[in-house]
Structure 1
């Protein structure tokens, strides 16, 4: 066709229903052919003469050396981007986004020196960002988001002072730190590096990007403090630093950014007082949840009050001087007494050579536990399993604090040292969504038998099991979890698994993830428990293994993955199966061991038969009255669209994680990222719905 149009210079066929492969005859067009816009079609499918699937870009397209514009976004084009694209030395705008392109983004990009607009987002591209992109000195707009790019961000990218509109590298697997050279992008308006694996700190030079209006760095592993240089970005409108590991306080200069209308630092480890001026005066525009040490702020944030600051120092220099001298003398006197007592005791007391070293964890006596539980009274028993019983108690050693005491049901001898060693190791494992071990007991009980117990924080809201399947229901205080609460719990549990699988010095496989091992604190934050019990049991039994959790507990019926039943070794994908079943149980309100599941039927198959068209058939009935929308016709109720979208996404994740084949299950890193995205979208949708309801119910006086 194209060879019959020798004078064709531009062809615009966007937003039609054109299907099939890109015709090879396109390369026969004139070298004066300048523009081809074929976006939003269906350029993929069958070659009628051959009956084979095709959707690749023909390599001969490079013959069109006169092209200045090529847009093919939102088609079904697959395969690699031909290296012959390097011939497009006059290309100014190239858009191949939202296709199925794969392979590496090769060095051909460096030849497109006239390029000012490049979009490759939402494909399957992998490999590194080529440093040759630094040759594109006219580039104003670059979007490579939502691919599988790896490696560090090349410094050459930050030499492009021409970047003014957008730089989007989000939703990839980029690593390394954000280089100081980011400050060279002084004229950039939009910067998005979210949802990657970036680490290190946010450089102070970010404040040199003085034109920046939108900055998104959420979903990484960034550490350190929030740079105060952000206050130099006077036009900044949206700032998202959530789901990182940032510490320190919120800089008190940020309220001075007058245009800032969205500020999100949720789920970091920030502390100190939240400002109340500027954007911080509007609760709808800031998100600070998940930072347990933040305080103050406006009342709508419901943060605890900040502690009263200490008394100011005396005004008169003479009084300060006297106080300092007296304090120094008293300190030296007390120190000399303590040192004298210490050295005398050291000379007179010989430490047994076989005593175990306990550097971090001070053990507690059996007598203290016996007294704190009224002799392990049955009324203090709050849970039991195959390998342990859990009692509620108060211990004087913790200032009569209420604790949970897990007594291991084992009578093995000679495991004192290994048990203490493992307890010390568990105490070093700290995460906001893991139950924290306080101390342990390795002693002899009143019957002369060896006694071992772990002492944990006490969770006031019990276990997720008690909320999903309450034995008794109080009319005054019914136990009912809303969808947003369940979603938060899923995010919490996924975050804990991500820490165990990827962030510990040695990966820890839980092996027994189920609702009874997910505890809820007074703020309904989920804490995963029993994450080290399998390892503890192995040390007590005197066995060793290649993994931290490969002996002892093999899971609970209904949650244990099918491959464990045929003798395969435990793995992180086994935990993912249990997590998938847990998600499905939270969405349906049905236990995988429910009596209805018999004769080959199971929870997953039950859901598949009604998903996705009949959500109301499988959804927990306790969720429907809260999130239903008025009927459109007749008496058929409909779910709120925002809620329905959230549920569909959650069911898909649960079904993917619980696939029978381990290789088909999602990794916890992908699940964590997706759940956080769903949570943010759902939260924004709920806030929007509430605002619309308030407006529709407003009364004009």
Structure 2
């Protein structure tokens, strides 16, 4: 197969239909750095590759190699000569036998070791801990047994530890808490015993934790609920945990999936769970929880699936559950009583289960439940009492009428003041003097941005006994529309609460030292600035001020989550009207927060019922990001925000602004991507994403193409054809899962 190729450095035939054995002639190509046979039908053994001393990547994943245990892993010993080896991936084959001790003599540069989905058995050799530069160790779905060696505590750089679906036993070692870079931990489907070590609370980068299907017991340590970075999954199901669920569960404000099912947990569900606003999937079935279903759970507006079946809940079903975005609900086999709601998820009997609750009544007809008893008839009032009631009502009517007329005339005299008060009165106030002092007199050195209606300063503000850094937006009241922008932003932000929206702390409405009117809004300060500064850094910026593909995907997810909340979970619905990179701010952890609601509109659920629809604030949005229909006088709508969101995705993936000088005469960013996505996608990708050359792992490239397609589907010209945010969220979750899997296999040159 290899004939006189003395300068061959990269050989990749992944994801084809090749069969037979791996050719022995490959061992003669001494300059080879990458050897990738993944995703084919090769059989037999891996030849000795010890002569390939420059080899950095070897992948034979997803073939039919192995099957002769006494020889299967012998190829590892010659690989100890390959001192540049960086990735070793042999997953998804038939390799058997025990893992030899000399695996610990592999290259000290080794970063990725992926042996999962094989027939390898026995104990982990302690020497494996010598590979101190590992960032990924994946041994899932093999037949390993015994304890996790103490030498694993030397993996100070490891980010992904995947040991699920083996026969590992003993206790989860306390040194887990020393693996400070860990963000993905999966020990599911083993035979671990004892309790979860409290030291896990030290792993403050963990996003995904799965301890399910073990023999763990004791109480769930509150330290695990202190890991604020948990976003993807916390799965403790199918163990023997006991005791109450700690109130600290409310600290998991960013978590998507929480699984505590099939344990021995007791007591009430803490009301603090209402703080977990990002929860989409909550599984508590098969425990001994009691009390009522907390009504605070209706605050979980993004909850899609809830299973609390096979517990001891009593009382009625919270009526508010019909008003959130539940797609599946199981409350079977409890002791619930009272009326079953008829809205939301309760309308479709195929999406919820209530059997085993014999005292329920009402609900939709398909449930065939008995009707609820009528209210007892109220006794008739005495005739004289009714006469007195009529007189009281008439007097009250005239009193209220006179009061209304008085208020009307007062408001007419000070209309300007009344326009602001409904919003401002609900926010804590701060004085002009305090803001002046906190910004050093609104000095130029504290100026961090300017917009159409105001300037933003970095400053300090006393909050709850401590001084915090804040962003202060000072309105340019001489600019037409600035005051309406102030009211719009206050109205939009006063009642919203979401981790991906900027938080308003206070406001100022008064006069400055010159006696001139002064208005300002105070927000939490975002350390990493705007998305604009990362996508298009100034020439004098920091050289490494850039975003990789994973960070861009996370930011897209964050922005989508914010707009799902604004469009579907707020009442009234909020239309942002001005989504663009400069209005997306990044905090310490690079979590995105949507900002600047100066053009926002509050609309009723039927979109036509708007308290602000008739008061235009100039152009609805920014040129290039605003949908074309706004320029023709159309009313604002959710589809307009979706267009801006689609353009934002395309800009993040291409690195090109929609106002780039190359886009003119009808040629725009949408068209630019559309003509290249199928055949030439890597030519339009922001080069900073391709940090390892002009190649991506095929699975990663497929994720990238899927992201481009979401951007295109959102930014089509006709509003009725744009992708809805509900569908976007579903697609982004799929892409995120695929990307996480693909990342394990991505070439790391």
Structure having the higher strand fraction is 2
Give the TM-score, by structure 1 length.
Answer: 0.45
Give the TM-score, by structure 2 length.
Answer: 0.43
